[in-house]
Amino acid sequence: MTEGHQEAGGGDSFDLSQFYQIFFEEAGENLDLMEQMLLNLNLETADDEELNGIFRCAHSVKGGAATFGFADVAELTHQMESLLDRLRRHELQPNPMMVDVLLESADASRVLLARHQTGETSEPPSNADLVRRISELAAGGTPIPAAAPVAAPELAAPVQAPPAVPVPAPATVAAKPGSRQLEIRMGPLDRPDQVDGVKDLFRDIVGLGSVTEVASDRADTRVFHASTSSSNEDLLDLFAFHVSREQVNIREMDTAATSWSDRDDPPPGAPVAPAPGFGFFEGAPGVPNGAASAPVEATEARPAAAKAGATKPAPSQVTAQPEAATIRVAISKVDQLINLVGELVITQAMLAQNSQALDPAANQQLMAGLADLDRNTRDLQESVMSIRMIPMSIVFSRFPRMLRDLASKLGKKVEFVTQGEATELDKGLVEKITDPLTHLVRNSCDHGIEMPGDRLAAGKPETGTITLSAAHQGGSIVIEVRDDGRGLSREKILNKARERGLDVSDQMSDGDVWQLIFAPGFSTAEVVTDVSGRGVGMDVVKKNIAALNGTVEIDSSEGYGMRVSVRLPLTLAIMDGMSVGVGDEVYILPLSSVVESFQVKDDAVNTVAQGSRLVKVRDEYMPVIELEKVFQVPRYDASKSSDIMVVVEAEGSRVALLVDELLGQQQVVVKNLETNYRKVPNVSGATILGDGKVALILDTSTLVRRSRH
C-alpha cells in the first residue's frame, strides 16, 4: 500500500481501485485460511496460536475492507473480531455454536466481497440476524432484548457506517493490568495524514487498548504513546494498511517514568536491547541519550535463525525492503508463455528433423548446438509447465466444510482424511476436476456412510471415515475417494437396472455391475432429497473425466466400503506420445495408454459375428480396430498392408490397433482441434510435427468404447 502513496505524490487523495484485485484475492485467501483453521480447531484445547491466527485472518479482511470503503464487509468482520478477540483473551470458551456462526460469517463475507468485485448494485442480503447472533455470543450468550436501543459501531476511516443494521456499540475495554506502555514512531511519511487511521484502530477494536499522539521531533514522522497488551507483531499487522512495516518503530517505555525500560530480561515479544552505537532515537523528546532500543525488525520473522543464535542485523539491514517470496501473475500470461514454449518445441523438432540429412562430421558444431537446443528446450518446457502445476491441497481444502455441513444435515458422523495434498496437477485440470470430486465425496457421505446407530449395530465405530488421496503413477495422477460405509449392493443395482430396461445378467462381473451406476438417470436412492436421488451426477462425473482423457474405476465390498479411482494425465498442454503411420498419415497415441506392440500374421486374427475381428494375445482375446478403415485412409501402395498391432488400454479394457509402422516416441504440443476446427470422432486433439504437418491425437477411450459396440 505504501507504494501507492509514493506514486500519488503529495496530493490530497489517490485512486485505491488499482489495489482492488489484490485485496479481493488476499481477502479470499484469508477467509479460506480462517475457515480451515476453524474446522481444525480443537474446542477443548484451543491454544493462543490457533485463536490468534483466526483473529488475524478476520482482522486483515476488516482492515482492507475499511481502507477500500467496503463498509458492509468491514462491519461484519468487525463483529467477528469482537468475538474472536474475547476468545483469544480467554474471556470466553469456544463452542460449536461460535464455530458455526463464524463459518456463516465467512460465507456472508465472501458473498459481499463478490458483490463489490462484480460491481453489483442491487439490494445486498441482510446480515442483521447474523450480527445479532455474533453479538449475543460475544456477550457471553446473553440474548439482547429486542426493544433495547442499540447503536452501530463506528468504523475506521474512511468508511461510513451503514444506515440499517442494529448492533451493540463495542464497549472500549481499558488496558488490563500488565499492559505494555509503548512509543510508536511512524515515518518517514509521504503525507502527515497517512496514518490518521491509527487512532481509529484503537477506538474500534475491543480490548486493543488506548493511544494518544505526542509531539514529534521530525516533520515527516508521527509519534504515538500506546497502552496495550498486544504483541509487536500484532500491532505491525494492524498498521499494515496505513504504512509499511519498515516505517514503523516500536519501543517499550517504563510504566513508572515514561522512559525506556532497561531490564535485562524483556517480556516475550518486546524489542531486544540495542546494538552498541545504535542511536536512531537519540535526542527524542523524553528519551535520554543512550537509552534507546532498536526498532522492531521489519523483515520477516525467522524463528529458526533466532534459535540458532543469529546476530541482530545492522541498521541498514533492518530498514531494507524484504524480498518477496512469491509474485502474482495473471493466468493469461502463463498460458501465453506455455503457448510460446509449445511453438519453440515444434520449431526445435523441425530443426532436428531437417538436420538428419546433414553430414555430422562436416557440421559438427551445428549438430552440437542442435543437441544443446534440444536439451535446453526440454528443460525450459518442464520449468514452464511446473508454473501451472498447483498442489491438490487447493482442491482438498474445500471439502472439510462441505462434509461438515452435509453430515450435520444428514445426522451422520464423518471424519475426513486427506493424503497426498502436496501432489501437483495442472491448474486447468484442477478447475475441471473439482466438480466431479465434489459429487463423489457427497456421494460417499450420502450413500456410503451409514447412520451412527446402523454402524454400531454392524460392529463399526459410529463415526465413518472418508479418505481423499492423490498420488503420481507414471505420467498420470490417481485421485481416490474411499469410504468405510455400506458399499455397493450388487443385487440392488441389478434389480434397478432391470427396472430401467437395461440389458443385464446375473453372470456379469462385479466390475461391469459397478459400471452400471454411471448410466444416465441411474440411482438406487429410495427417496429423492435435495442431496441425491434424482440420478443426476455419476454419468456427468464420468463424462467430465473422460473429456479430460481420464478414466474412472470402482471397487466395492458390500458392508465394508467403496473406492472410486480417477486417473488423469498430469497436464493437457504437452504430452508424451507414440507416433504411428497408416498409409501416408501419421497419428499420435498417448504413451500412457500404450501397453505393447507386436508384429502379427494374418492367421492370428479371427473374424467373428458381424465382421468383428479378434486377436489372441497370450491366451487373451481382444478386439482389433483397423485405423485404416476408421479414418478411411486412402491406400496408394497396394502391396503395403497393416501388420503391426499396438495394444492400448482405457477404461479398464484393451484393444489392438492395426497400423502400418511405428515411427517413434516424442513429446507433442496438444492443440485443441474443436476450438480451431470442429469436433472429430475418435480424436482428442492435434499437434504439429517436425516437418510442419498436422497429426491427429487419437482418443483411446472412444476407440475402446467403439470396440464394445
Choosing from 390, 412, 434, the residue where a domain stops is: 390
Q: How confident is the model at residue 483 (pLDDT cuts 50, 70, 90)?
A: very high
Q: How confident is the model at residue 571 (pLDDT cuts 50, 70, 90)?
A: low
Asked if 383 and 513 sit in the same domain, the reply is: no
Contacts of 656 (CB under 8 A, 6+ apart): 600, 615, 617, 622, 623, 624, 625, 645, 646, 647
Structural domains counted in the chain: 5
Mean pLDDT of 683-700: 83
Asked if 454 and 367 sit in the same domain, the reply is: no
User: Looking at residue 616, what is its pLDDT?
Assistant: 80
Residue 228 maps to which CATH number? Answer: 3.30.70.100
Please give the grid coordinates belonging to residue 158.
Answer: 474512511
**Do the domain assignments include residue 306?**
no
Mean pLDDT of 647-673: 83
Asked if 441 and 560 sit in the same domain, the reply is: yes
Q: Nearest-CA neighbor of 342 among 388, 303, 406?
A: 388
User: Looking at residue 180, what is its pLDDT?
Assistant: 83
Note the pLDDT tens digit of each residue in 416-466.
999 998 888 888 788 788 888 888 998 889 888 999 999 999 899 999 999
Higher pLDDT, 140 or 282: 140
User: Looking at residue 316, what is its pLDDT?
Assistant: 36
Asked if 423 and 513 sit in the same domain, the reply is: yes
Q: Residue ranges of the alpha helices (H) in 584-689?
A: 627-630, 673-676
Is pLDDT at 557 greater than 60 in this prediction?
A: yes
Q: Cβ(230)–Cβ(209) under 8 Å?
A: yes
Asked if 400 and 476 sit in the same domain, the reply is: yes
Mean pLDDT of 271-289: 35
User: Looking at residue 489, what is its pLDDT?
Assistant: 86
**Do the domain assignments include residue 301?**
no
Asked if 80 and 190 sit in the same domain, the reply is: no
Alpha-carbon dihedral sign for residues 321, 322, 328, 333: positive
**Do the domain assignments include residue 153?**
no
Higher pLDDT, 163 or 616: 616
User: Looking at residue 88, what is its pLDDT?
Assistant: 84
Q: How far is CA 707 from CA 95, 288, 317, 596, in A?
A: 59, 90, 69, 18
* pLDDT > 90 in the chain, percent: 7
Lowest mean pLDDT: which of 319-323, 452-456, 466-470? 319-323
Is pLDDT at 318 greater than 90 in this prediction?
A: no
Choosing from 263, 287, 310, the residue where a domain stops is: 263
User: Looking at residue 204, what is its pLDDT?
Assistant: 66
Is pLDDT at 334 greater than 70 in this prediction?
A: yes
User: Looking at residue 405, what is its pLDDT?
Assistant: 86
Lowest mean pLDDT: which of 153-157, 238-242, 454-458, 639-643? 153-157
**Do the domain assignments include residue 442?**
yes
Mean pLDDT of 372-389: 85
Q: How confident is the model at residue 296 (pLDDT cuts 50, 70, 90)?
A: very low
User: Looking at residue 526, what is its pLDDT?
Assistant: 53
Lowest mean pLDDT: which of 75-84, 131-140, 463-472, 665-674? 665-674
Cα–Cα distance measured from residue 52 to residue 56, given in angstroms and rounded to the nearest whole number: 6
Q: How confident is the model at residue 15 (pLDDT cuts 50, 70, 90)?
A: low
Asked if 358 and 407 sit in the same domain, the reply is: no
Q: Cβ(558)–Cβ(488) under 8 Å?
A: yes
Higher pLDDT, 487 or 178: 487
Give me the count of residues in the chain: 709
User: Looking at residue 414, what is its pLDDT?
Assistant: 92
Please give the grid coordinates belonging to residue 284.
Answer: 527524542
Which burial class, exposed, middle or buried, applies to 301 when counting CB atoms under 10 A from its CB (0-12, 13-18, 19+)? exposed
Is pLDDT at 593 greater than 90 in this prediction?
A: no
User: Looking at residue 17, what is its pLDDT?
Assistant: 64
User: Looking at residue 611, what is its pLDDT?
Assistant: 67
Is pLDDT at 299 greater than 60 in this prediction?
A: no
Mean pLDDT of 177-198: 80
**Do the domain assignments include residue 318?**
no
- Which three-class secondary structure state does DSSP give residue 568? strand
Strand segments, DSSP code E, in 618-705 are 620-626, 644-650, 653-659, 661-669, 683-688, 694-698
User: Looking at residue 265, what is its pLDDT?
Assistant: 39
Mean pLDDT of 493-515: 83
Is pLDDT at 612 greater than 70 in this prediction?
A: yes
Helix (H) or strand (E) holding 467: strand 464-473
Asked if 13 and 24 sit in the same domain, the reply is: yes
Mean pLDDT of 480-506: 86
**Do the domain assignments include residue 97?**
yes
Q: How confident is the model at residue 639 (pLDDT cuts 50, 70, 90)?
A: low
Q: How confident is the model at residue 484 (pLDDT cuts 50, 70, 90)?
A: very high
Q: Cβ(433)–Cβ(566) under 8 Å?
A: yes
User: Looking at residue 706, what is its pLDDT?
Assistant: 78
Higher pLDDT, 42 or 322: 42
Mean pLDDT of 10-39: 74
Q: Is 401 left (phi over 0), alpha (psi -120 to 50) or beta?
A: alpha
User: Looking at residue 315, what is its pLDDT?
Assistant: 37
Is pLDDT at 12 greater than 70 in this prediction?
A: no
Q: Is 115 left (phi over 0), alpha (psi -120 to 50) or beta?
A: alpha
User: Looking at residue 7, what is its pLDDT?
Assistant: 40
Choosing from 515, 547, 569, the residue where a domain stops is: 569
Q: Nearest-CA neighbor of 569 among 707, 664, 661, 685?
A: 685
Q: Nearest-CA neighbor of 40 among 417, 451, 485?
A: 417
> Which of 139-148, 338-347, 608-617 has the highest mean predicted lDDT (pLDDT)?
338-347
Is pLDDT at 534 greater than 90 in this prediction?
A: no
User: Looking at residue 546, what is its pLDDT?
Assistant: 79
Cα–Cα distance measured from residue 438 to residue 375, given in angstroms and rounded to the nearest whole number: 40
Asked if 488 and 524 sit in the same domain, the reply is: yes
Q: Residue 189's domain spans which residues?
A: 172-263
**Do the domain assignments include residue 273?**
no
Mean pLDDT of 327-336: 81
Lowest mean pLDDT: which of 1-10, 81-90, 375-384? 1-10
User: Looking at residue 408, what is its pLDDT?
Assistant: 87
User: Looking at residue 451, what is its pLDDT?
Assistant: 92
Mean pLDDT for the chain overall = 75
Residue 613 maps to which CATH number? Answer: 2.40.50.180
**Do the domain assignments include residue 151?**
no
User: Looking at residue 415, what is its pLDDT?
Assistant: 92
* pTM of the model as a whole: 0.52
Mean pLDDT of 356-371: 88
Note the pLDDT tens digit of each residue in 193-246.
778 778 777 776 666 788 888 888 888 888 999 888 877 877 887 787 677 778
Mean pLDDT of 60-79: 83
> Which of 126-130, 137-141, 207-211, 247-251 has the highest mean predicted lDDT (pLDDT)?
247-251
Asked if 203 and 68 sit in the same domain, the reply is: no
Q: How confident is the model at residue 580 (pLDDT cuts 50, 70, 90)?
A: very high
Asked if 115 and 201 sit in the same domain, the reply is: no
Is pLDDT at 163 greater than 50 in this prediction?
A: no
Higher pLDDT, 100 or 708: 100
Higher pLDDT, 256 or 367: 367
Asked if 548 and 626 sit in the same domain, the reply is: no
Cα–Cα distance measured from residue 682 to residue 703, given in angstroms and rounded to the nearest whole number: 6
